[in-house]
Amino acid sequence: MIITFKSAAAGDVIMFGDVAERMMAAMGKEPGSQGIVTVAQLPDAIAGLRAAIAADKARWQGVTEEERPHEETAPGGGHRAFVSIAQRAAPLLELLEWAEKKGKPVVWGV
């Protein structure tokens, strides 16, 4: 499944469903195929995503490139390249920040 985060404030952010659900949880939203971060909820969603990024960076601090995983298990049992939460969250954080600046909500699944 693919989830597309949309806002009139900036371009779309497309993620695998399992990754998007982790981002939703970090933003304080119930993971699901449809949702919205209202303008009033944007500051808390941004803070939650920043906290998840900081925790991920702290997790990998001091770990060499050779020690990091190179693959991760995808839903359905396949494998894909490992990408940290901090890297995956960056485009979504940027979308949320633009949405806050322009006073526009962020939606997905609509």
The three-state secondary structure class of 70 is: coil
pLDDT at 98 over 90: yes
The token pair at 86 is 């901090």
Cα dist from 22 to 8, 55, 92, 103, whole Å? 23, 13, 12, 24
pTM equals 0.85
Least confident of 9-18, 70-79, 93-102: 70-79
The three-state secondary structure class of 46 is: helix
Unique residue bearing structure tokens 């633009």: 98
Confidence grade of residue 14 (pLDDT, cut at 50, 70, 90): very high
Which residue did the predictor score with more confidence, 85 or 108? Answer: 108
Judge contact between 8 and 94, C-beta under 8 A.
Answer: no
